[in-house]
Structure 1
Amino acid sequence: MKNFKFLLEYDGSRYHGWQRQSEENTIQGKLEHVLGQMCGKETEVIGAGRTDSGVHAKGMVANAWLDTEMDCGEIRDYMNRYLPDDIAVREVREASDRFHARYNVTGKTYRYTCQDGAVKSVFDRKYCVRLDKRPDMAKMLKVAELLKGEHDFRNFCGNPRVKKSTVRNVDSIEIKREGGYLYFTFHGNGFLQNMVRIMVGVLLEAGYGNITPEEVQESLTGFVRQKAGPTAPAAGLCLTGVDYN
């Protein structure tokens, strides 16, 4: 048995997120099915995180213990041959026995893409969210500064019954506009369920003048979930990278 590390990308449009579910189509379920066939027995795949239904990834990391004589290239080629076209294994490496794709994570990068140009996108429509009007960049940047740093993000979590710590450190938020597209890039030591999508919702509402910086500050210190803002649609979100020491 050897521990292998996988670098994955996937289009999450038709999946009910990463986590295996008995009656739903999931990324983890597809990977475990293919590796199970390859090894001839049930195989657990551990992901760096659990992307939500409809969320994409270009840099998901996972690991699995495999009983196989195949080398890394052969494992990659086998998986890509039998996985559906919307999941790809970019790289397979042999990992140390101590490597754990989830527990060893030190940071993650997410990118959220909107389109606010004059002409709607046809070919990117599954990977970005079309905005009806253009938000004010200066207002969004002001609120982004408030969201950066270590905070209790309980009001930015989609699970109101979460029992674990909701304190996270978001060390970088970049917002830029290019060619009719609006890109939000977040880096932090971890993110709660729906947290990035809620932050995007808050930033957009601030850009529209519907949320003030004072209200955002209150959402970081208060206990009323509604003050955090709406949850942006899943289609615009992509996990682009996972950090390890």
Structure 2
Amino acid sequence: MNYRLDIQYDGSRYGGWQRQKDTDNTIQGKIEDVLTKMLGTEVQIQGAGRTDAGVHAKGQVANFHADCEKSCEEICQYLNEYLPEDIEISKVSEAEERFHSRLNAKEKVYQYRIVSGIHKNVFERKYQCPLHETLDVNAMQEAAKYLEGTHDFKSFCSNKKMKKSSVRTIYSIEIVDLTQEIVITYTGNGFLYNMVRILTGTLIEVGRGRRKPEEMKGILEGCDRKEAGFTAPARGLTLLEVRY
């Protein structure tokens, strides 16, 4: 049976989604450990997105194959009983045999939150970038238009050894000024390593007046990480949704 997991997590204290050899403190690792305990055999899950250390998710999706006598509701209950309190399985459901959470994903939606006011919200502090600056949102919106569409986003990727195509399509970048907070929502068919955070850092530099909106075209054409802005902190980023 192929099972789909809908997952949410606070990534603050984890080394990212993907299981790693040098630490057991990853989201994937925690879920696989509980599933392995439940089934009595090693289980590997496939995640839709490999979120970085410190990045959060409200709508992560994963899948795994297993023979299990428990119902989907019982699997969900078991997982949530033994997982840490900052990881929650929202739903377990049966998926088509060939369903793959990453390969079948059509769109992913990420959101980045920036504190622009002088005060922080202590209850939201782990999910916002504490910039505390006034940014030119209109300039950021103008710059975002250059980044929408299908482009080679190599300049916005931290993986220097990447051999696969770095061409991706961003369907929309919405930037909303909420007075004390700026929210940037990215919707695309996929994102490279650190891509959303580098896009955000570059847009922040536009908002600070250090770059002009029209410079985005040259950054894309340069295909060089050094052309783009800084990598925004992980804490402000959340994977909102994966669409199939």
TM band (smaller chain): over 0.9
Distance 1:178 1:214, change over 3 A: closer
DSSP-derived class of the 1:12 partner: coil
Match of residue 47 from structure 1: 47
Tell me which residue corresponds to 1:157: 157
User: Would you say the 8 A contact 1:4–1:93 is kept in 2?
Assistant: yes
Q: Distance in 1 between matches of 2:240 and 2:100?
A: 19
Q: CA deviation at 1:179?
A: 5.0
Within 2, Cα distance between the matches of 1:9 and 1:179?
28
Instruction: Decide whether the 8 Å contact of 2:9 with 2:57 is kept in 1.
Output: yes
- In structure 2, relative to structure 1, the CA distance for the partners of 1:133 and 1:225 (3 Å cut) is same
Paired residue type of 1:228: A
Alignment-derived partner of residue 30 in structure 1: 30
1:68 CA displacement: 1.1
Residue 71 of structure 2 corresponds to residue 95 of structure 1: no
Distance 1:77 1:124 in 2: 28
Contact 1:215 1:227 in 2 (8 A): no
Instruction: After TM superposition, give the deviation of residue 215 of structure 1 in Å.
Output: 2.4
1:60 — aligned with what?
60
Q: Which runs of 5+ in 1 are unaligned?
A: none
Q: Give the number of aligned pairs.
A: 243
Aligned-partner Cα distance in 1 for 2:100–2:214:
40
1:180-231 Cα offsets, whole Å, 9 max, x none, are 1110000000000000001101111001100112322111001332211111
Matched, 1:86 2:83: no
Relative to the length of structure 2, the TM-score reads 0.97
Distance 1:143 1:43 in 2: 44
Taking the TM superposition and a 5 Å limit, the aligned residue runs for 1:165-204 are 165-204=165-204
2-side partners of 1:223 and 1:182: how far apart?
28
Q: Is the 8 A contact 1:113 1:182 kept in 2?
A: yes
- Deviation string, structure 1 residues 25-71 (Cα, Å, up to 9, x no partner): 10110010000000001001110011011100000000011221000
% identity of equivalent residues: 51
Aligned-partner Cα distance in 2 for 1:99–1:240: 20
How far does residue 5 in structure 1 lie from its aligned partner after superposition?
0.4
Distance 1:72 1:179 in 2: 43
Structure 1, 54-63 or 206-215: larger mean CA deviation: 206-215
Deviation at 1:74, TM superposition (A): 0.4
Runs of 5+ consecutive residues of structure 2 not aligned to the other structure: none
Separation in structure 1 between the aligned mates of residue 237 and residue 120 of structure 2, nearest angstrom:
18
Alpha-carbon contact 2:198-2:231 (below 8 Å) kept: yes
What's the CA shift string for 1:93-152, capped at 9, x where partnerless? Answer: 011101111111111000001111232221111110111311001100110000000000
Tell me how far apart the structure 2 counterparts of residues 23 and 165 of structure 1 sit (CA, whole Å).
28
Q: Is the 8 A contact 1:46 1:100 kept in 2?
A: yes
The alignment's C-alpha RMSD in Å is 0.9
TM-score scaled by length of structure 1:
0.97
Does the 8 Å contact 2:115/2:132 carry over to 1? no
Matched position secondary structure for 1:130: coil
User: Structure 1 residues 212-221 or 25-34, which shifts more?
Assistant: 212-221
